[in-house]
Each structure stands twice: as C-alpha cells, then as structure tokens.
Structure 1
Amino acid sequence: MSTQQQHPDFQQEIQRLEFTKRYLDVVIKTAESSKDQFQENMREAFQDVDWLDSSSSYSSLLTNARFFEMSKDELKSLKNARVKPYFARIDFLQENQKEIEQLYIGKTSLYSRENQEQIIVDWRSPIANLYYEGRLGEVHYESYEESYNGLLSLKRQFMIENGELDEIRDIDLTTTDELLQDSLSKSSSNRLTEIISTIQEEQNRIIRADLNKPIIVQGAAGSGKTTIALHRISYFIYQYKENFAPEQLMILAPSRLFIDYISEALPELGVERVRQTTYQEYVQACLGIKLNLKPDNKLVRLLEEPESKDSQTSAWISSTKGSPVFHLILSNYIRSIYKTFYPSEDFMVDKFRLFGHKKFIHLFKNDYNYLPLFKRLEKLKAILQNDVAKKKQNIIKKIETFYDERIERALYRGKDPEKRRQYVSDALDKKDLRLSEIKKALRTAVPAYMRQFPKKTLIQYYHELFNDPALLCQFSEGKLTEQEAETLCQYSQALFSKKKYEREDLALMLYLQVYLFGIPKEIKAKNIVIDEAQDYSFMELISLKKALDTDMFTLVGDLAQGIHSYRGLTSWNGVLEEIFPRATYTELQKSYRTTVEIMEKANELLKLLPYSFPKVEPVVRHGESPKFMMRKNDLELVRQIEEQVSLLKQENFKTFAVIGKTMKDCQLLYSLFKEHSEMPVKLLEEQEKIPKDEIVIVPSFLAKGLEFDAVMIVSLEETFSRDSELDIKLLYVAMTRPLHRLYFYGESEDDFIIHI
C-alpha cells in the first residue's frame, strides 16, 4: 500500500472525486441534449454506487438538484474540469454556524442552485481566498462588502491527473514551501496552465487588488508577472460577468510569439475570448490606416554597431519621440491647429446674420470640448443647418413682405396705368429672382461657410509637424535646441519621403488621432493588460490611455529587463505621477522560476547596472550550479550541446533553448546544427510559433518573457561586454529563462561578463 493510500481520508476523497465526475457528466450530457432528462440522467449515473446512501450530503445534493440553462462558456469550462475538477479543499466553520463547510476549489464553479450547496467552488470566489491567504485557525474573508469570521481547520491540496486521484497533501506552514517547490520542479511545458493551485500570497493580493483602479507591478524575472496579469483578467471577468463581455478586455502583448506562448493558458482560465494583439497592430486599427512600418531593428543596430553615429542618432530620435517633451510638443501643436478653426466672420446668408462667429467659437471651445476637432465641427455644422431650417421661412417672409409692400405702394401711386403695370411686373420678377437666389443661398450656406475650415488627413497633419524646425522648437517651449529640432525634422522627412514610419511614430499619430478625429467606439476596450510594460515609452502609454478613454490598465514589467530603454522606461515615477496617478504600485522581488544557484549568478549582473535594483530573492529551490563549457571549435560545440540535451532528456526535461546574443549569432548556430547534427532545431523569429518537439535557437532580445527547462547561452562571434548597459540586461534576460539548468558555451568566461 502506498503512502498516499495510507492517508486516512484517501478512500473518502476518491469517492468525492467519483461523485463530482459523475455529477459533471450528467450536467454536461443534459446541457447537450434536453434539460427535461436531468433527473433521469442523475438516476442512471449513480445507480451502481453503493456508498451513496451512506452519505447524507451526497443524497441531499442529488435530491435537490435542478438543471439550469448555461452558456457555451460555462459548458466549456465544465468539460475542461472533467479531468481535474478541483485542486484543493478547505474546511471552514463560520462564526455562529454549527456545521463545517467542506469546500472543494477548482477552476470553475458547480453547485446545486436550488439549495446553494457547492460541489466545486471557483478559485476566484471570495471564500476561496482563504485557501491562498488563510492560516489554519481563526480567519476572516471579505465578500461584497461583508466580513465573515470563522475557523479554518483544514487546507488540503490534491494531485489529480486524467480524472484519477494521485496524491493528497494537508497544508500547514511547514508544507507550503514543499508544495511550491514540487510545482516549480516540474517541466515548463505546462506550468502556465497549472499554476492556480500554487499562487502565492503576494501574487494573490495583486490578482484580487481593487479592480476599479489601475495597477503597476514591478516584478523581478520569474516573479510570475505574466501569470498574475492573466489571472487578474480571469478574476475581473468573474467579478463583472454580468456587466462585461470578455471582448471588452484586451491584452497588449510584446509580440505574436508571446501571444502564442500564452495561448494554452487562456482557455484554462476562461479568458480565451479576451482580445489579444500587439501594440503596433492595435494602434494601426485605431488609426484606420495600414502603415508601411520600417522593421524595428534599432536594438539590433545598437548591438552590432553601438558606437556608430547612425545608431546613436536613431536611438536618440526614439527616446525623444517617446518622451514627455513630445507630449508638450503635441499639446501645443494641437492647440495651434484648433486656432485655425476659429472663424473671424459671422455666419451670413445674403445680408441676414444667422449665427455670430463669437458664439461659434464659444461652442467650439467650451460646450463641445469633450469631442475631437472634426466631431466638434460636425456638431456645429448640424447646429448651423438647424438654424437655417428654423430661420428659412422667416427670411423668405421678410423678402416677400419687402416686395409685396413695394408693389402695394406702386398700385396707388402712379397715374399712368401702363407704367404702373410695368413697374409691378418688374417688381414681381425681381421678387421671384430674389427668392430663387435666397433659397439657393440657404441651401448652400452651411457647406459654403464650412469650406473655410480645411480638412486634412492625419498623415498630412503629422508630416506638417516636422516641416519646420523653428516651429517644432517653439512647440517644445525651449526643451529642444535648434539643432535637435533640425535633426528630428531631417530624420523624419527622410522616412516620410519613402512613405515609411517607425514604431515611435505610432504613439504620436495616435495622440493626434484622438484629438483631431477620434477613435471608433467598437475598437475601444474597457480594461487593458500590458506585459513587458517597461519597453513602452511615456508617449505610448499616455496615447493609449487617451485613445481608450480609461485608466483601467494593468501594467507588468521589469526595469532590469528593459532592453529597449533607449525608447522605453528607466523609472515608473513619471508613469505614476503623470499618466496613472490613481494606480496602485507594487513590487515583486521573489523569483519562482529558477533555482537559487542560477539566480545568485544573475543577481551579480544587477549590481553592474547604473540604476539601483534590489536583489532578486529566489524561492528556496536548489539545483545544479550554472556551468561554463569551453568552445574549442564549431563542430565540438554542436557535439557538446547534443550530449547535454540527451542527458537532460534522460532526466525528463522537455523544453530547451540555445540563446545567442544577436540574431546574427543565432543564424550561425542554426547553420551549424543543420550541417553537423540531426537534432531537430528551430530558429525562432518574432512572428513564429514556439515548436513543441524542437530545440529552440533564439536571440537574447526575443527570449524575454519565455521560459525553458534548460538554457544554453552561446557566444560565437558576439560576446557580452560589462561596459554596455544593454549587454548586461540582455545577458540577465538570457540567464533568467531556465527553470532548472543553465550552461554557457564560449572561448572563455570573459565572454559572459561574470565569473561562472
């Protein structure tokens, strides 16, 4: 008999699991057929179970069971739950109650809605918080502004695979770390989908933090930033399922590669219908334009030609276009555009004054200041048209009265009948002509008046911003020198002449779009998650906030991994002060990904960065120390990696990455493996999917956000320099990718900055 089967409750828990699976089967079967068959299906499902009658709780559940209509999403969740209905149990005695509640916690909920007896409790429910944060003994939890006190007498975790109970663990302070270590020691292949059962207290607090406020998480490598972001979305959907559709939430991922990486976790969390896109794709959708974007190779150029003037200039351009300086420039530029729409003449039809220009300006500046420029014009155009419609008959009446009075006087004044008749005839002709002219003028008056306001395209407005260095300098209020303004204009005009744009242009164009043309409602989202937020510039974040018209953002990132810091952030201060002042800011310094030995080496790199980064605290999980392997020649390198992968596979490791500093080094590595090895390898580029059965070769800057069981960092033609902040960050990114093993291959340890 195994140790687990000796657990006093093992048989009881097997019965509970069997009951839950059968109950699930009936609910699923009924949902797919006819709800009228529900009770009959229940009887059939449990007719052969001899232990059922002895349990009053099971009998009660079945007796009171009623089938309720469910959505496709709910049905899908229950089908997914069939192989692992729950992962934990808590026993809770609420204050002033006599019976202990046995609550089984899973990824979805299942209960008898007739009597509210829960078969499975959703991990996102308020009471499930006791599993993540409660200690055995006296506890309390909050639910819908009510506080509940009681006694937590049991926390139990289940290992269920393919519907079979493998293991039970009762949790106390001494076993919590063991459970976490066991989870972390598994392969990376399914860690993202199985992390719900081991969410840590500090992670849980961020997931459940105030959903009506933005949140910024500065998290060390391996601290679970991505996991927290995805689970927070899931928690949000659960809390607001009556008011929000998943499509109203959006994940802005750093790349298509990253979207593929998280794709398996999304259905498990019930958030697969959440919009997933990249920053570049989303901004172009907002603009309604497909731009010819120049490949974002500035990082590569900085790596390959760090001292070249072109590399330095393009990096400075990126930094400047993304900075608060350009927020000031755009604000002043937009104000200057608005002023060109202040009319100097009243709205007249012939000699009739219908609408004063000062009133027009007042409405434009004040009453409709919540609208973008051209939407304001549409409103004012409608007001003018309405004004014409209301005053049209009065104007016509005045003209008719004028001529009728002249004709009336002529009939009694002249003595010569012929002259009188001729005068009246002429007057009638003039009246008809005048009325015809005024009616035509009334029809065309509004379009004619509106023609004074030139309507340019977004592209035209954006190009004009860089036409005049002196004006750019003026808009910057002295923040740019004349030479800097000249450089910006020349660089941008050279791009525009080829009908090309860079990533940094997107934020500026989006900002203009918001204030000039507006963003379609159907493309907006109400809650946004941004991963790798440290790689976004100030302008990118503020433009997104303005475009989406909400501050409900979840930003997760790590400044220590800010490899795009030439355009991104070096501090969260400006973001907190000027963009998201309501945000909750929190730091995560514990790393759950890698071993103590690997993290201690990675921490040595943090000391070399110019900013003060606190030391990352690895969770107490030990493993082999990182190893350096001397590379004698190319063929020997291939053999070394082949042998290492073979040994690691014998230890049941499944995912492997060979990381080079640059794409150039990775292309050389890929060629070597294709020429000298039969081992399946895949050179990973930004738009490609991560293969399941191949060794991944990936440049350091694309490895960010990914994780593998084992990583081999290779230096062929490119080495890492301790004099380069970018090199230090790239090596730090590479070193924090593995869960279990880390190897270095190069001519000497000096290729990797630190002593290994």
Structure 2
Amino acid sequence: MPVQSAYQEEKKRLTGVLAEIRRQLEAIGPRYTGDDFTEQMLDVQRGKRIERLETAYREPYFGRLDFQEASSDRPVPLYIGKSGVSGPGRDELLVIDWRAPVASMFYSFAGGDGPASYESPEGEVTGTVHLKRNLVIRDGELIRMADSYTRGQDEALVTDEFLLYRLGENKDNKLRDIVSTIQAEQDRIIRADKNKVLFIQGVAGSGKTTVALHRLAFLLYRYADRVRASRMIIFAPNRMFLDYISGVLPELGVGDIRQTTFEDWTIELLRNEVRAADPADTLHDWFERPRSAADLDSASGRWKGSRAFVALVEERLREIEASFVPQEPFEPVEGMRLQPETMRQWAETDYGAEPIMRKRERLVNRLRRWLETELKDRKWTDRSIRSKALSRLNAFVKKMPSYSAPQAYRTMFEGKRAAAVPDKRIVTETVARLKKGIAAEEDLAPLAYIHIRLYGLDQPPFDHIVIDEAQDYSPFRIEALKLCQRRPSMTVLGDLQQGIHGYAGVRSWREQMELFDDEDVQYYELDRSYRSTMEIIEFANRVLAGMDGGVRPAVPVFRSGEPVEIERTEPENWLAAVEESVRSWQAEGRYKTIAVIGRTARECALLHERLAAGGLYAALVESSQPSYGGGLTVVPVYLSKGLEFDAVVMADAGEAAYGDADAKLLYVGCTRALHRLKLLYRGRLTRLVSGG
C-alpha cells in the first residue's frame, strides 16, 4: 500500500478509536461522593479506569503488528499501547496492553519471512508477521508513521528509523518510558520469571534503569494474583535520582511502588534510633582529594561490606541469642523451681523461627504465665508471697540481655571483638560515631541486618526488589535485603565501568551473585548504548581502554553527531572559556538541557558563581539535592551518574583533575552527554585521554 494511503488509513482508524474511548469515558458517569464504603471502593476503581482511558485518549497506541496465526486464513492487525482498550463488542480489543503475551512479538520480531511465535497461557502460538509499524501519537494526533518490516519487501533497505527518531529527541528533567522502543534484549529481561534474581550489567545509556521499571509494570500485570505494588520497592542511589525517574511508572499506569534510598529505608527501619551521617562528608573525603587505587583496598567500607564481616556479625548474633536464655534455674518461691533446660527448650523449639529479641519477649511472657499458673495451682494467695515472686521474676528477667541494633552493632568494636577489626582507626571512628547516635554509610547495612535479625520486619516481606546502581552495593547490603523476602525476587542492575564508589561497592558481579543459589540467578549483559552518539561512546570507551573490568565496552547505536571537542585553556582564562562554551550552545538553540560537569564541589561552586555573574541562570547540584530541574546545570562529576543531558562541558579534564585512578569517574562524566560533548583542560590533558 502506498505510504500516503497507509497514513490516511491509520488516521481514520485513530479517529474511530478515539471516539470509542470518548464514549466509554462519558458512559462512566459522575464520581461518587457519598459515605457508603462499598460505593467508595467501586468509585476508586472507576477513578482508575477514567485515568487509564484519559491517558489512552492522548496516546492510545504506538505500534501495529499484522499477525496471521497458523490456523487462520488471514492476518489480523494488532495495535499495541500502554494499556488495553476494549471495543464495543464484548470480546473485541481495540488496543492490546504491551505486557500481554501476544504483544511480545512486537519487541522480539526482528524481520525475516520465517515463522513468529509467542507463549500464551494455553501454549505456544505460531504464525506469520506481515507488517510491523511504529506510530507516534501526541494528544490524539498522528504525528509520525514508520514501517520497520513489511513482508516481501527488501529488508536491506529497512532501517530502524523510528528508534533513531526517538533517540534524537532532546531530553527534559525527567526520565521517560521506552515502551514504544523496547528492544528484543531488553524485552527478555522485562518478561523474565518473577522468582529469579536478575543481574543486569548495562553500559551507560543501555536503558537498564528504564528496563527495570518496565519489569515492575510487567510483573504486576503477569502475576496480578500474586504480587502487589505496595509490596515492591525500588532502591535508587540518591533522592535527586528518585525525582528524575519518578515519572516512568505513572506513565505506565503503575502506582503505590515505594521508591527510596537504602539510607532512608534503613533509618526508618531502625525507627530513627540513629541518624545518618551527612553524605557530603563521605563524598568529600573520597572525591574532593587526590586518591589512588590503594585507597580502595584500605577503605573501611570495603571491610564492613564484606562477607567476612557478615560472618562476624552473624557469630555475634548467635552469642546474643544464647545469652538471653538463662543458664540457672528460676526459683521465685522456695520449693517452686523452673529448670534452665525447660526454658532452653521453649526458646529453641517453640520459638525457633522468631527473630532473636522476639524470642526473648516470648520467653519472658512464657515465664510470667508459668509463674501465674504455678501460683494458682498451688493456691498461694498470700499477697507477700505473690509480691516476692513477681519481684524475683523482674530481677531474673533483667539478667536476660536485650539489645537494640545500634547497641548490638557497637559491641562488634568493643573488647576482644575489636581485635578482629583490621584497622584500629575503624574501631575508634565507629565507636565515636555510634556514641553520638550517627551511622556512616558503611554502617547502614550491618545495622539493617542486625535489626531484622533481632526484631524482624514491621511490614510484609517484599514481593520484588529493584536495586539500581548496584555496583555501589556491598555484599552486606544484599544480605540485609535478602532477609526482607521469603523467596528471592530481585532485579539488580548497574555498570561496573561506572563503579566510582569502589570504596564501598563491588568490582565483580560475582561478589553479589554468589550470595544466592545458582538456580535462582540469571545474568544479562546490555552492551548497546542508546543514549549518546557514536562519537561520544567511542571517545568514552577510549577513556576506559586498558582497564580490566570484565565486561564488554559500550556499542553505540548508529547515530552520528558532532565530533567530541577537546580544548586547552590557560588557567587565567578557564572560567571564561567555560562560560563561552555554554553561551555558544545556548545561542544555537538546539539543546534543552546543558550540563557543566566539574571535578569537585568547590570547583562547581566557582563555575556556578561565574555563570551567574555573567547573567546565565544555572542550577547547582549538591549532595543533598532532592530534585533535578533541567535547563542549565552545574554538577560535580560524582553526582552526575544516572542523569543525562543534551550537551555536556567537562569543565577541566586536566591531568591534575583526573589521574590514572579516575578513569571510571571521567567515563561517567563523558557518557552523560546525548548529542554534544566538549572537554576543556588546564595544564596538561589527562593521560586517560591523551594516552601519554
């Protein structure tokens, strides 16, 4: 069919679909405002349906797949959207939800005249694809149409025009869904079985964060009878990143999934018994001064996050559990005795699966009931005897140690246990912090683990956990989160090439994967970068050249752009050069988001001050920042991870700023750029770029 005729056909169908959506909206009627509980619950469902239909009215679908089942004599056009839309007929579907089994072919089919198939609840369905078409609809208007496959057409002439079109769009201050451009390798991850721990190694710009969010939406659809959004949780690296990704799930029609940081979650879990140290302190200690690879091995966070430290903590918890079971008989009144063997049996047999301090609480309650029963059976009603017995019980209970998580954790650094700590500075610094009620970042995982082992969880176990930037998670953090599930169900994602927090994180995914049984683990590697141009990705790969990261380098999608610029500037003209770069890009009017990425917070403060003095409004990103507002931004390189900008100026790529140990840091900065990258430098250019 000629392109113009096909376009008119699609416009006609769109008009009909929009009319049906509008009819369904009008048929719902007014919202309920009364006090009847049943009607209120029904109205909640009506409200959700209204929201889905209103979203569908703006963008009802994004794809079309003409599929002919093997048992059928003709192809059927299937329209794929973010949510399903039924037609006026009872069994008619105008739009198929992207998460439905049949919709998987839209993502997995890569062309060719061979058979296509999908897994339905009844089994495998095979057939033939006749057409795969991408559609862009905005506010009810058909904006663009691109056929990526037409049966019988010369495929050598077909390119993924639609993907390149979407990748070429400018970005704003929020991450967006990729439901219309999900690639086959991403779709396999999204649709993987729930009861697995998925480890996703994804290069910068591979879409791993978005894939994980889409996976949550898929799990809620596929396992609707077994999982709840309220029992899912997303762990992000910081609050600014949480704000950046906050729009994806609502766009997919998913709500009620908690999105937090490990720090905030732990402090809440501990019921604010401690407060978190200022994250700026850790960042300043690590990133605001010269460092070497040797610093990684000596960092206390590496030791406190290790499996060896997990073993020491677990040993201490066993000691605590044994300590509250009395080793001597309880004799509240002469002639009335409870032997320690009986109390030990109660604790070990009757309460075996309980958290440690709950076992203690139940044992104390059992002692009280035993005493009441004995007094009643022996008919000892004398008040003085009863008072004496209760007094002895209270004294006996006081000898049964009770701990909060911070108290138990502190004992790890006291007495003979302190000898197991490899560096005495760790002992003195940790104890000093805990005395003030402060927990450093490296203390959070042990505290969370200890609290759960002592007191359990206040809420039901998580159905699914997403951990973003997981290369910065120690094995101990993973161990703590394992305690929050009955059965492992996690999506763990990150990039070892962006592991800039090596003082606390892992250097190999094996460090985390080996915490689970082999049959529970699946590993995926996403090496295609959809974010940046070929020029930027190839340049960034050279920065990491020679590093043995154990993962494949990024492979750019064929999207060419401006060459990466490298410009030397004299120290006295450095700030002016940065300002001029920003001004020239803004004058071009091609970029919605521009970032000036500095090496340190102090450097960024100077850059921000200079831009402001020149009349250029820019947001200055700091460690405690809750949100990212887009536009012109000045950000330290170590806070830029996870963000993306249309254009990036690396303010100073000199040798003094980026030494041999800073390759991952420079790589992170360079890969924030989608379309344009420029590196300024003072003095000598870093050897990570020059190779000298």
Counterpart Cα distance in 2 of 1:190 and 1:162: 21
1:586 maps to which of 509, 524, 542: 524
Contact persistence 2:171–2:593 (CA under 8 A): yes
Counterpart Cα distance in 2 of 1:210 and 1:308: 41
2:120 maps to which of 143, 146, 149: 143
Counterpart Cα distance in 1 of 2:341 and 2:528: 61
CA offsets, 1:248-306, max 9 Å, x none?
11111111110111122221012342111111100011111153322233343233333
Aligned twin of 2:316? 333
Counterpart Cα distance in 2 of 1:113 and 1:234: 27
Classify 1:151/1:749 alpha carbon distance in 2 versus 1 (closer, same or farther; 3 Å).
farther
Counterpart Cα distance in 2 of 1:384 and 1:360: 8
1:74 Cα deviation after fit = 3.3
Using structure 1 for the length normalisation, give the TM-score.
0.83
Contact persistence 1:665–1:718 (CA under 8 A): no
1:334 Cα deviation after fit = 0.9
State yes or no: 1:733 paired with 2:677.
no
State yes or no: 1:179 paired with 2:162.
yes
State yes or no: 1:358 paired with 2:341.
yes
State yes or no: 1:617 paired with 2:600.
no
State the number of aligned residues. 670
Aligned twin of 1:641? 581
Within 5 Å, give how 1:386-405 maps onto structure 2: 386-396=369-379
Unaligned runs of 5+ in 1: 36-66, 400-431
Contact persistence 1:628–1:749 (CA under 8 A): no
Counterpart Cα distance in 1 of 2:385 and 2:176: 73
Contact persistence 2:267–2:276 (CA under 8 A): no
CA offsets, 1:407-442, max 9 Å, x none?
xxxxxxxxxxxxxxxxxxxxxxxxx7xx44454456
Aligned twin of 1:33? 30
Aligned twin of 1:466? 413
Counterpart Cα distance in 2 of 1:490 and 1:70: 56
Secondary structure class of the residue paired with 2:685: helix
Within 5 Å, give how 1:299-698 maps onto structure 2: 299-306=283-290, 312=295, 316-353=299-336, 355-396=338-379, 435-440=382-387, 447-468=394-415, 470-473=416-419, 476=420, 480-481=421-422, 484=423, 486-521=424-459, 524-579=461-516, 581=518, 582-632=520-570, 633-634=573-574, 636-649=576-589, 652-675=590-613, 677-688=614-625, 692=629, 694-698=631-635
Contact persistence 1:608–1:722 (CA under 8 A): no
Contact persistence 2:288–2:601 (CA under 8 A): no
CA offsets, 1:364-418, max 9 Å, x none?
234423111121122223333444454444322xx7xxxxxxxxxxxxxxxxxxx
Aligned twin of 2:59? 84
1:68 Cα deviation after fit = 12
Contact persistence 1:608–1:728 (CA under 8 A): no
Contact persistence 1:735–1:742 (CA under 8 A): yes
Classify 1:745/1:69 alpha carbon distance in 2 versus 1 (closer, same or farther; 3 Å).
closer
1:561 Cα deviation after fit = 0.4
Classify 1:355/1:144 alpha carbon distance in 2 versus 1 (closer, same or farther; 3 Å).
farther
1:658 Cα deviation after fit = 0.8
Q: Which has the higher helix share?
A: 1
Using structure 2 for the length normalisation, give the TM-score.
0.90
Q: 1:110 is matched by which residue type in structure 2?
A: V
CA offsets, 1:469-510, max 9 Å, x none?
x3233xx5xxx55xx3x3322221232344432111111111
Unaligned runs of 5+ in 2: 33-41, 150-154
Q: Which moved more, 1:586-595 or 1:175-184?
A: 175-184
1:20 Cα deviation after fit = 1.1
Contact persistence 1:31–1:70 (CA under 8 A): no
Contact persistence 2:654–2:682 (CA under 8 A): no
Contact persistence 1:184–1:593 (CA under 8 A): yes
Secondary structure class of the residue paired with 1:491: helix
Aligned twin of 1:108? 83
Contact persistence 2:567–2:680 (CA under 8 A): yes
CA offsets, 1:660-702, max 9 Å, x none?
1111111111111112x22221111233355556311111011
Contact persistence 1:89–1:154 (CA under 8 A): yes
State yes or no: 1:747 paired with 2:682.
yes
Q: 1:302 is matched by which residue type in structure 2?
A: W
Contact persistence 1:341–1:453 (CA under 8 A): yes
Contact persistence 1:207–1:232 (CA under 8 A): yes
State yes or no: 1:170 paired with 2:147.
yes
1:30 Cα deviation after fit = 2.4
Counterpart Cα distance in 2 of 1:449 and 1:262: 54
1:71 Cα deviation after fit = 4.4
Larger radius of gyration: 1
1:13 maps to which of 10, 14, 17: 10
Q: 1:682 is matched by which residue type in structure 2?
A: A
Q: 1:738 is matched by which residue type in structure 2?
A: A
Contact persistence 2:173–2:630 (CA under 8 A): no
